[in-house]
């Protein structure tokens, strides 16, 4: 299918997921923040970046775990909160809220099938010292890359040297074992007690003072009020530099999904 799909239709479906999550969080006093490119969209475009077709939120670890544990009771029936603890085939270290009425396969060589989604990143603390921070995030990058190799088709680029990392990873590690190591590492520093915090989406690039994240603060997004970073300017400048500068056309990229169907439940796809 490539990117020959109606991006606005996809954006509005994704927005519905965010609004359902927002409703749950308001009713149950759970913290969340729109983050990353979603926050840029809110600040620069008052909604989605026009060519962007995903949505990111972060939740402090305590709120994240409550949300994931109770999601079946709290979310509408058609929405599913998925992460490695409740889906043995799930390949990532963070969660997604997906719409089970839709079908999405992101990449042919990453064969996970689900619905369209929003990403939910747990927010954790980070170490203060530079050396321990290098060691901490070095371990994170190692396990995160190993997890990718465990999930990727080993023969995506043929059966030569490029297949070796995947084959070695599968010999030495299990997917659930690596996911458990990643979670243990990320949870090592408590979000609410740490001076420095991180969403781990961009590794060390995501480190910043907890005071910048602050309290969830209302911000306009697609003519709705949702919650974002309190000091969004410091957050976005730290992560992206001049975030108000619109990138040139060749860098305005949307996903090149392998398969997308907004009207067919993923469980019905063969």
**Cα-to-chain-centroid distance, residue 251:** 21
The three-class DSSP label of residue 228 is strand
| pLDDT, position 53 | 85
Q: How far apart (Å, rounded) are the C-alpha atoms in residues 233 and 188?
A: 28
Domain that holds residue 82: 7-265
Instruction: Give a yes or no: residue 1 inside a domain.
Output: no
pLDDT reading at 249 higher than 50: yes
Instruction: Give a yes or no: residue 68 inside a domain.
Output: yes
The three-class DSSP label of residue 77 is coil
Instruction: Give a yes or no: residue 99 inside a domain.
Output: yes
Instruction: Give a yes or no: residue 270 inside a domain.
Output: no
Mean pLDDT, to the nearest integer, of 50-65?
93
Mean pLDDT, to the nearest integer, of 182-202?
91
| pLDDT, position 2 | 43
Residue reference for tokens 């949300």: 67
pTM: 0.88
Instruction: Give a yes or no: residue 118 inside a domain.
Output: yes
Instruction: Give a yes or no: residue 2 inside a domain.
Output: no
- pLDDT: is 161 or 1 the higher one? 161
pLDDT reading at 163 higher than 90: no
| pLDDT, position 200 | 82
Q: How far apart (Å, rounded) are the C-alpha atoms in residues 143 and 140?
A: 5
Q: Which residues of 209-235 are buried (b: 16+ CB within 10 A; e: fewer)?
A: bbebbbebeebebbeeebbbbbbbebb
| pLDDT, position 110 | 65
Mean pLDDT, to the nearest integer, of 35-53?
93
CB count in 10 Å sphere of residue 261: 18
Mean pLDDT, to the nearest integer, of 91-101?
91
pLDDT reading at 52 higher than 50: yes
Residue reference for tokens 């005071």: 211
Total number of domains constituting the chain: 1
Mean pLDDT, to the nearest integer, of 186-190?
94
């Amino acid at each position: 299918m490539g990117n020959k799909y109606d991006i606005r239709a996809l954006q509005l479906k994704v927005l519905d997921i965010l609004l359902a999550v927002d409703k749950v969080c308001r009713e149950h006093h759970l913290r969340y923040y729109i983050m990353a490119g979603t926050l840029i969209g809110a600040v620069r475009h008052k909604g989605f970046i026009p060519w962007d077709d995903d949505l990111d939120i972060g939740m402090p670890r305590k709120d994240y775990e409550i949300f994931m544990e109770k999601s079946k009771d709290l979310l509408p029936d058609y929405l599913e909160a998925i992460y490695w603890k409740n889906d043995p085939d799930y390949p990532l270290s963070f969660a997604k809220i997906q719409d089970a009425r839709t079908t999405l396969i992101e990449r042919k060589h990453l064969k996970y099938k689900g619905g369209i989604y929003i990403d939910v990143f747990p927010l954790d603390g980070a170490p203060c010292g530079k050396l321990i921070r290098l060691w901490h995030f070095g371990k994170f990058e190692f396990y995160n890359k190993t997890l990718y190799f465990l999930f990727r088709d080993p023969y995506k680029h043929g059966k030569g040297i490029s297949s070796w990392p995947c084959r070695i990873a599968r010999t030495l590690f299990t997917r659930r074992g690596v996911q458990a190591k990643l979670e243990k590492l990320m949870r090592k520093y408590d979000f609410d007690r740490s001076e420095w915090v991180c969403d781990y989406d961009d590794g060390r690039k995501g480190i910043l003072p907890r005071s910048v994240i602050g309290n969830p603060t209302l911000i306009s997004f697609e003519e709705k009020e949702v919650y974002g970073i309190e000091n969004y300017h410091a957050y976005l400048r730290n992560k992206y530099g001049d975030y108000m500068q619109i990138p040139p056309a060749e860098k305005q990229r949307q996903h090149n999904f392998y398969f997308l169907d907004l009207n067919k439940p993923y469980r019905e796809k063969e």
